[in-house]
Amino acid sequence: MTAALVPELKPSSRLLLGPGPSMVHPRVLRAMSTPLLGHLDPEFLVIMNEVQGMLRAVFQTENAFTIAISGTGSAGMEAALVNVVEPGDKVIVGVSGVFGTRLADIVGRCGGQLVKLEVPWGQIFPLERIQEALAKEGKVKAVALVHAETSTGAQQPLEGLGMVCRDHGALLVVDAVTSLGGVPVEVDRHGIDVCYSGTQKCLSCPPGLAPLTFSLRALQAVRARKTKVQSWYLDVSMIADYWAEGKRAYHHTAPISMVYALREALRIVLEEGLEPRFARHRRHSAAVMAGLAQLGCTPNAAEGHRLPSLNCVKTPEGVDEAPIRKALLADAGIEIGGGLGPLVGKIWRIGLMGESSRQEHVFAVLAALEQALAKAGRKVRPGEAMAAAAAQYAR
């Protein structure tokens, strides 16, 4: 391999409307390309504080331990579990998609005793189901649920869960990878003990960091462990000393440029304000879903529990979906997602997250889908999907 074989970086321009990454604001790209400070530079320590403060605002928490893990969202998931779960600990995991399945897998790798609750993919867990499981299982260390199931587009209600877990002495662990910054994630109000996310979804920052927050109760559980955390890299007790103001004990080298990017992305989130941002996600979701309905696409997730950040729909009857996605990418430069696991070939996942959640993107994806479906021989009245979206906006 010689350098001559690798040409200049010239990727095509893309409109990212898949399950992540989402579009990144030019301000974030610019911040990311700022020349680096050292990771123990006094100025960088201020930046870490600022990021922590803004993450607390977005997580709607006062948790002191609110940081960004130096890895992608999946590293956040692993950090959440390896710190909490010791060998033999009983953990209830709600599985209704790929990411619940992954939680269950990691509990096993921690030596935890897995209690797997299941509902069909696309459904959610009613509060009573969790309550019953807790009542039945005796001593449970934690309950882990996916708030926004990226593989199905379902949004798990969180109301009341924290209280129920607290009553049974269990910690509540919540995956907010595809919700944080686009859908309310109220860590303190809902009594969530451990919550993690990724940067490349509703925060509209490139992937590479995993926002993570631990309640005091969760940290106490970590401190009361009898065994070392199995991961050195994700050991929260050591990472806490790295992020703690006044301590800053060297642990590992933070991904400085990614922290710059996240800082700018969080500034943009807070400039907009959480409530207007959530409303924006709902507005464009309603519009795109109205348009998709015209194209013969029905919602995948249960009614009343559909994520506005990731719009998952069954593909139109009789349409081979993969060539349509390929055409979208090739002809319009638009990325949307297909299904995972049992949903391969059956759904589309259209992300309107963060910077991707805009009116012009709704019309862009509907127009491109119309054209691709027409090209594939499906009867489509030109403009009908966009008209339906426009009507929804006009409501």
Find the shortest distance in angstroms from Cβ 273 to a second copy: 9
Q: Which residue has the tokens 């069954």?
A: 314
CA distance 331 to 366: 14
In sequence order, which ranges of the chain are alpha helices (DSSP H)?
A: 26-32, 42-59, 73-84, 98-109, 127-137, 161-167, 216-223, 236-243, 256-272, 274-294, 321-327, 359-375, 384-394
207-236: which residues touch a second copy (CB under 8 A)? 207-208, 228-233
Among 32, 124, 194, 286, binds a second copy (CB under 8 A): 32
From residue 257 to residue 286, the character string flagging contacts with a second copy as x (rule: CB under 8 A) and all else as - is: xx-xx-xx-xxxxxx---------------
Hey, which residues does 180 pair with through a beta bridge?
Answer: 183
Candidate segments 4-12, 128-136, 282-290, 356-364, binder of a second copy by CB under 8 A: 4-12
Instruction: Compute the least distance from the CB of residue 379 to a second copy, in Å.
Output: 30
Distance from C-alpha of 140 to C-alpha of 375, rounded to nearest angstrom: 54
Sole binder of a second copy in the list 48, 54, 154, 176 (CB under 8 A) = 54
Q: Which of 90, 116, 217, 251 binds a second copy (CB under 8 A)?
A: 251
Q: Does 360 bind a second copy (CB under 8 A)?
A: no
Selected range binding a second copy among 43-51, 165-173, 216-224, 386-394, rule: CB under 8 A = 43-51
Exactly one of 189, 252, 346, 381 binds a second copy (CB under 8 A); that residue is 252
Q: Please state, in angstroms and as integers, the Cα–Cα distance from residue 271 to each residue in 40, 158, 277, following that order.
A: 28, 26, 10
Contact 131, 94 (CB under 8 A): no
Token digits for 235? Answer: 């050991």
Interface with a second copy in residues 84-103 (CB under 8 A): 102
In whole angstroms, the minimum distance from the beta carbon of 202 to a second copy comes to 14
If binding is defined by CB under 8 A, does position 316 make contact with a second copy?
no
The residue among 198, 82, 99, 75 whose CA lies nearest residue 154 is 99
